[in-house]
Homo-oligomer: A and B are copies of this chain.
């Protein structure tokens, strides 16, 4: 596994900034409440519960009611942050997410914790790699995958201020800081983290820093990769995709998710519609993962700086070929 950046840099479990920001917002705004499914520890909301017990609801192990009751709280004027393991929050309450959030437009902020392969050796039941495909198809639902602590905080603040349902897909694996303090998450705007003209890498979540590392390594080989943080899945920055297609002619998508229907799928749809270029999707290739930790599985599926580097190099080679 690539160590060059992480060894040099301090890393953060984004759940800490998540919990701290939620508490801070709750202190300022009486409407903010938290709903959990027996997940106080894993969501790090023990502090929230201590400070705001009357705005903390633990519905027990019951995800349908968790999402339904959150919708009711929202319709009653609260701003519920509904927090649970992403795998259960989405799959177990899929219809509540569609109907009570997407269709009825209740102002609920779904916080899918420990998404992607975070639960590693707990196995495929606990991996949440379908959640992007599942939520992306639901109208009115914003889908956001922050990449670092700064963006996590900003996305939470944006979610509070934006009247409408949001799915925040959060992670647990420590990541370095990528953004300066004043970085603001803006929906539908995908910031360029590093420019380049040979291909564009769209990544989100915990894989953004690995994509950046890959770009550094590619640079050493004379390949200039543009790296874009695609934290905003819905709405998607169409323009950034089309610019990438026009200006770099090849695209690599990198996500801790299935390669079907998620970020990769979204990018392929836009590109194929308006400016066809070659797109390679990295992620989990349509299988249930074997036993292993998150780090092991990321490596197993090639989702390391080296893996991204080599996929990118291949793609550029293909493109340069006749």
Contact = CB atoms under 8 A, between A and B. Distances in A.
Contacts of A98: 91, 130
Interface string A63-92: 000000000000000000000000110111
A46 interface: no
Given A95-B92, A269-B265, A279-B272, A134 B134 contact: yes
B286 A139 contact: yes
A269 B281 contact: yes
A174 interface: no
A153 interface: no
A133 B200 CA distance: 26
A302 interface: no
A254 interface: no
Contacts of A139: 286-288
Contact of A137 (B88, B133, B266, B277): B133
Interface size class of A (residues with CB under 8 A): 35 or more
Contacts of A274: 278
Given A139-B286, A260-B136, A261-B133, A272 B277 contact: yes
Contacts of A179: none
A109 to B, nearest CB: 20
Contacts of A87: 95
A258 interface: yes
Contacts of A266: 260
A273 interface: yes
B95 A134 contact: no
A271 interface: yes
Contact of A273 (B91, B124, B281, B286): B281
6 contacts: A99-B124, A103-B288, A133-B133, A139-B288, A140-B288, A272-B278
Given A273-B278, A276-B276, 16 more contacts: A88-B95, A90-B94, A91-B94, A91-B95, A92-B95, A99-B125, A133-B136, A133-B137, A134-B134, A139-B287, A260-B265, A268-B272, A269-B281, A271-B276, A272-B276, A272-B279
